[in-house]
Structure 1
């Protein structure tokens, strides 16, 4: 399947481009940027045959069958809709949209166009997550009672778009969303209520202020199961998940980026064999390229060769929880979801 990339983004260079190059069923066709020279330079650096000076030109290319959208969060909706209208399948970076209403619009557009749309949560495709789900659902820990999740790193570039509220910046959107989706995945149901607390950048911040640089949340799934998570742009690199049952516990030391133990660690794309800690005992997991596995599954699903594991409707449910967490932080109270 021929892929085109919207924008000359760092995440594409470090993760998706190598994944597509390595995949067995996908190939890179084109990249588009608003600056034609930038697109040409990016294409040359990353072995991409075609470079376009506008997104519209790339979407008109019949050789581009699927589009990867790593644009700023505020541009996920308009350019995903344009790609779907052009008959392209879309793999869109997280969060899929800025709110549930936008996500629903994207989901409906994909159905209308009869195209595949998926949110790019790569961690879900690593074997360690499949093994963790197997352990939890086989009752190896007993009834699940508590989920703890953390994801933080120091965002030290003042001009980074993730500091800009109008572009969909914020720690919850960027890294907290991983904690939320994993909590929902292991709970195997949606939260009934949420409570969120945010720390915002000041008005004199280079990004304009008002962006959550840190966020702490609690998800209440009912029946005695809660998730507590934290995320931040102003703390050291941390990634951690703990699942606590009535009889045992499971720790995923490197849930999101296996092998990356700090800001100076291996690249996002390194294949590393992680370990789980099951009831205090270490259990080695196989090395895998979670990005490559995500791309290959997406292509097979788009080709009709297997069901899409995480359809856009799943991303709509995810956005409803993020909406509620932001609403809770603003209002200073618990928000009910169900």
Structure 2
């Protein structure tokens, strides 16, 4: 077996479970491990973390192995999910590519466009699948909304309005760490950037106002973004409560994706002719299972890029965040000149 092949078929042609390894053992890693139980043909095989005890605590309930050596884990798995803080995503992704392993990387895949491009280039050079784990487009509600609007459109879409702000995040949370690449824009705003890019295309101009906290990260940001096909108004924050819905506006109607829009389950479509359509699509398995199932399908098909979350989408999202951080003069100590 070459270093770019996966252990997904037997010599009788039957499909085996894709063996996943998780880098990291925090909250999102636990959610991913639980979601794997809802993905056909996938299983957790290994967990590695810089701290041994959390890795064991995550691995054992799922019948997986906790590894002390990351390269040793790479030798026993078919795909890698990176679940660490964003400052370390490039290091682990590049190590995975060097070991011949495809990567599903938690959002944001990188803290800036330059680093993300390095990761994309390495994946392409190795002919390996690489996808940012941006979950909303894979949810049943989001897919159904896309299908409905293809049949019964709201006209030319030109507005996206969305945001999320969470009050009471403790100051010792990694989101407040400048050294770890924290801040509201990267932790939360990347979701809103996805929604804007998905419906309006590439950003052409970004105007940002916001506040920088005592640790040096952005604690609240409000963005007006001019895109190829319209305007986005988005916000994100770490010290105010602003959980909410999302609005998509067109010339013949509006869509409201009800809160919490980033875990979409309900949407209302109101047309200018008075019609109203309600979409209700509950999700199962915590939500991460949908993006993971998509990744597994791509892996079995030999694909190196997702048509739903392509590399260009990730680059367009992080370009918005880069521009907003420049406006707020937020710079991480590990970023090169």
Superposition TM-score tier, normalisation by shorter sequence? 0.7 to 0.9
Counterpart mapping for 1:280-291 below 5 A: 281-289=276-284, 290-291=287-288
The 1-side partners of 2:210 and 2:145 are apart by 30
Offset of 1:222 from its aligned partner?
4.6
CA gap 1:134/1:38 in 2 versus in 1, 3 angstroms: closer
Offset of 1:287 from its aligned partner?
2.2
Verify: 1:249 aligned to 2:254, yes or no.
yes
Verify: 1:294 aligned to 2:291, yes or no.
yes
Counterpart mapping for 1:173-252 below 5 A: 173-187=186-200, 189-202=201-214, 209-222=215-228, 225-236=230-241, 238-252=243-257
Deviations 1:282-326 (A, max 9, x none): 513222333212111101111226772223333122222211122
The 2-side partners of 1:144 and 1:96 are apart by 28
Deviations 1:206-247 (A, max 9, x none): xxx111111111110156x20001111112250310011122
Counterpart mapping for 1:96-115 below 5 A: 96-115=109-128
Aligned residue number for residue 132 of structure 2: 119
Secondary structure in 2 matching 1:276: strand
The 2-side partners of 1:57 and 1:292 are apart by 26
The question of whether the paired residues in 2 share the 8 Å contact of 1:95 and 1:119 is answered with: yes
Equivalent pairs counted in the alignment come to: 304
The question of whether the paired residues in 2 share the 8 Å contact of 1:6 and 1:33 is answered with: yes
Of 294, 306, 309, the residue aligned with 1:308 is: 306
Normalised to the residue count of structure 1, the TM-score between the two structures is 0.84
The 2-side partners of 1:26 and 1:107 are apart by 24
The question of whether the paired residues in 1 share the 8 Å contact of 2:197 and 2:316 is answered with: no
Offset of 1:107 from its aligned partner?
0.4
The question of whether the paired residues in 1 share the 8 Å contact of 2:197 and 2:203 is answered with: yes
Unaligned regions of 5+ residues in structure 2, if any? Answer: 1-17, 331-337
Counterpart mapping for 1:3-82 below 5 A: 3-13=20-30, 15-44=31-60, 46-59=61-74, 61=75, 63-82=76-95
CA gap 1:53/1:229 in 2 versus in 1, 3 angstroms: same
Normalised to the residue count of structure 2, the TM-score between the two structures is 0.84
Deviations 1:135-178 (A, max 9, x none): 55556222223210011222532221111012110011011110
CA gap 1:245/1:65 in 2 versus in 1, 3 angstroms: same
